[in-house]
Amino acid sequence: MTLLPRVDEYACCGHGDCAAIAPGVFRVDEIAVVTGSGPDDVVLEAARACPAMAIEVVDADTGEPVDV
Amino acid sequence: MGTRADHARVPSSVLIIGGGLAAQRAVETLRARDHHGPIRVVCGEQEPPYDRPPLSKELSARPLRPPDWYAERDVELLLGSRAARLEVGARRVRLEDGEALAYDELIVATGARARRLPTFAGRPNVHVLRTLADARRLRAALAPGVRLAIVGAGFVGQEVAATARGLGADVCLIEAADVPLAHVLGPRLGGWFADLHRGEGVSVELGAAVAEALPAVAGAPVSELVLTDGRRVAADVVLVAVGVAPETRWLAGSPLADGISVDAGARTAIPHVYAAGDVVRGCEHWEPAARLGSAAARSILGLPATPPLPESFWSDQYGVRIQLVGEAAGADAVELDGAGRDFTALLHRRGALIGVLLVGRPRELPHWRRQLARPYEERSAA
């Protein structure tokens, strides 16, 4: 399975936890943006670490949201 | 791993009392997880849900979602509507206008109200700051040279002091404790905050409460405050920033009247009743409100609670980002790296790291959150 993250721009506060965990996947200026992809476990860890719960993760094959 | 089909069920109706961040996050999680039942949000203010931190940081607010967002997702907002009574047996909420709203699942998210001081009852130029309407009133009263007295040097009082200085007001911060935030951060770090404001031209009066408001004429604007030790502070505008009380008055007569505690899934002691945000004991601050709002929705949908994270919160003053992650109260040792408006303070208790205060170092936050997520025993000598 390949997991894709999506940042909810309204919910993101720019804490930067995601980019610290997955620097190849997220970049944080004012808010976080997705800049690439990464291993599923890293994407999930970054999503779980978001204090604003602003990262959604979807299964790239089905488009279904994945429970983080 | 959950999928949409796993959680399919007869759609229940969700009623949310309160229209702040916790309510918003509950709605978002419900709709994102394919809850198709009716959602009603009873917002006490005339505004759709908005983000509260800018109230003190900018004396303004931003909507949490664009105006069309709610209709597009079939979410009904009842603006300017307040709950008057919870009828647990009948599973309904009675509104102040008499209307009764039935629910299958109820989320209590009525937040908190600003505490007021009896000394200032009925005085027209005395403000509190909790709502967007409060912020607009206060903003309209401030201008260059206006003398603003702020009673209470907690984070809200301090942030308004900084904002008002930026608007050219002449600011005095009055705090009953000998050091601002001493109960949260201890005397050493609290003292740093007093120095920060003094360095920006704020007069900081510590160790005294307000004894009297002059002139002693009912209904007249306050022009001078007399402190308990006799000090006097002249003022054109007064802000009372002495904390908040959970908004549970409408729950009188219900089992939740004396305060609300919840589990990690935002469940109260009453079946089908959840609670999130400032109305819940120990849930003040932005992050826990957001997370608990989402947790309430997850519980309604039968999803497990997400694991807890070390919580952080932030304050912006004079362009400096100040962040606290973990806890600070109860620290018995503080280790400083840096100085001025650029430092990290590591807070220890019995040799273990319990919290970190960051001043001007926002990029360090994720590192310290991860350190604090480790088990307590492993953080010794961190």
> Which residues from chain B sit within 8 angstroms of residue A12, using beta carbons?
none
Q: Is residue B307 part of a domain?
A: no
CB A3 within 8 Å of CB A34: no
pLDDT value, residue B308: 84
pLDDT at B378: 83
Provide the 10 A C-beta neighbour count for residue B80.
12
Using the CB atoms, write b or e for B218-239: b if 16+ within 10 Å.
eeeebeebbbeeeeebebbbbb
Residues B231 and B164 grouped into a single domain: yes
My answer on whether B248 and B109 are in the same domain is yes
Please tell me if residue B305 touches chain A, with a CB cutoff of 8 Å.
no
Per-residue pLDDT of B81-123, as tens digits, reads: 999 999 999 999 999 999 999 999 999 999 999 999 999 999 9
Residues of B in contact with A15 (CB under 8 A): 312, 365-366
Report pLDDT digits (tens) over B290-305.
999 999 999 999 999 9
Residue B315 amino acid letter: S
Contact B2/A67, CB-based, under 8 Å?
yes
B1 touches chain A (CB under 8 A): yes
Determine the pLDDT at residue B381: 54
Residue B305, domain member (yes or no):
no
Instruction: Categorize the per-residue pLDDT at B329 as very low, low, confident or very high, splitting at 50, 70 and 90.
Output: confident
A67/B contact by beta carbon, under 8 A: yes
Query: Is the CB of B363 inside 8 Å of chain A's CB atoms?
Result: yes
Co-location of B24 and B87 in the same domain: yes
Task: Say if the Cβ atoms of A19 and B366 lie within 8 Å.
Answer: yes
In this predicted structure, the answer to whether residue B221 has a pLDDT above a threshold of 90 is: yes
How close does chain B come to A67, measured CA to CA in Å? 6
> Are B234 and B187 in the same domain?
yes
Q: Do B123 and B226 share a structural domain?
A: yes
Residue B211's domain comprises: 118-240
Clarify whether residues B284 and B316 are in a common domain.
no
Which domains are delineated in chain A?
3-59 (3.30.70.20)
Split into its structural domains, chain B has a count of: 3
DSSP B70-113: HHHTTEEEEET--EEEEETTTTEEEETTS-EEE-SEEEE---EE
CATH of the domain at B208: 3.50.50.60
SS3 state of residue A53: coil
Question: What is the DSSP secondary structure assignment for residue B324, as one 8-state letter?
Answer: E
Boundary-marking domain end, from B300, B321, B340: B300
Residues B263, B188 within the same domain: no
Confirm or reject contact between A3 and chain B (CB < 8 A).
no
Taking the CA of residue B62 and the nearest CA in chain A, the distance in Å comes to 10
Question: B365-373 vs A40-49: helix axis angle to the nearest 10?
Answer: 100
Considering only alpha carbons, which residue of chain A is nearest residue B6? A67
- Co-location of B236 and B289 in the same domain: no
